[in-house]
Amino acid sequence: MKIIFLSDIFNQFSENSEAQVILMYAENIFLFIIFSYALFAIITTPIMLFYSAIDNFFKWKKNNSLITNEICCEDTKNHPIYVSKVCNLYKKSLSRFVGNVLGLFTWNVCSLIYILFAFPDFKTGVVNYFIFPFEVIESYTFSNMTGSLYQNSASWFYMLAILGATFVSYQLGKMIAPILFRKKLPDTYKKLSLA
């Protein structure tokens, strides 16, 4: 009963020309937000991965020196909660560092493959690769949102594929790091049951 009533309201709403215009604008606003987020992610992913890799490298080194100088010394007594906190920070920063480096590596390799195979020469490929977001913004028309999408559909596909591969490799790096962490630790670290 409620379904029939709701479908009648929707049919009346869709037959009204003002309602159709409102729905069209709502659809365009939704697509604009999605395009904006996608462009933002495409542009900022390598920058954020690079910054985060450097940040996590320094955190990893700091925690490594804490473990080496404070926790693993024979004559010092540290509270078990402090030891656990430092060890967890060490694992977390190492996992993020490996994930960021692997994600950045994947982004660079995938981008290079795209530039080499999708364009006639390297220079044209680099220019088109970095001008893509600006072309999308320039070709954007609010009245023809889907036309703006189809105008650069091949580039959108490759850029989103590069972004997806980067995300997957980042997650794989974060999952692989604890395994490497356990295998590469000296016996002193293993006694702390970090892994």
Phi and psi (nearest 5°) for 154? -65, -45
User: Residue 80 has what pLDDT?
Assistant: 65
In a domain, 69, yes or no: yes
Q: Check pLDDT > 50 for residue 195.
A: no
Q: How far apart are CA 69 and CA 75, in angstroms?
A: 11
Q: Are 107 and 124 in contact (CB under 8 A)?
A: no
In a domain, 15, yes or no: no
In a domain, 1, yes or no: no
User: Residue 70 has what pLDDT?
Assistant: 60
In a domain, 18, yes or no: no
Look up the pTM and report it.
0.71
Question: Alpha carbon 21 to chain centroid distance?
Answer: 35
User: Residue 188 has what pLDDT?
Assistant: 47
In a domain, 97, yes or no: yes
Give which of 85, 87, 98, 94 is closest to 59, Cα–Cα: 94
In a domain, 16, yes or no: no
Q: How many domains does the chain have?
A: 1
What proportion of the chain, given as a percentage, has pLDDT over 70? 71
Phi and psi (nearest 5°) for 79? -65, 140
User: Residue 35 has what pLDDT?
Assistant: 81
Domain membership of residue 63 as a residue range: 34-191
* Position 194 confidence tier, pLDDT thresholds 50, 70, 90: very low
Q: Check pLDDT > 60 for residue 13.
A: no
In a domain, 7, yes or no: no
In a domain, 14, yes or no: no
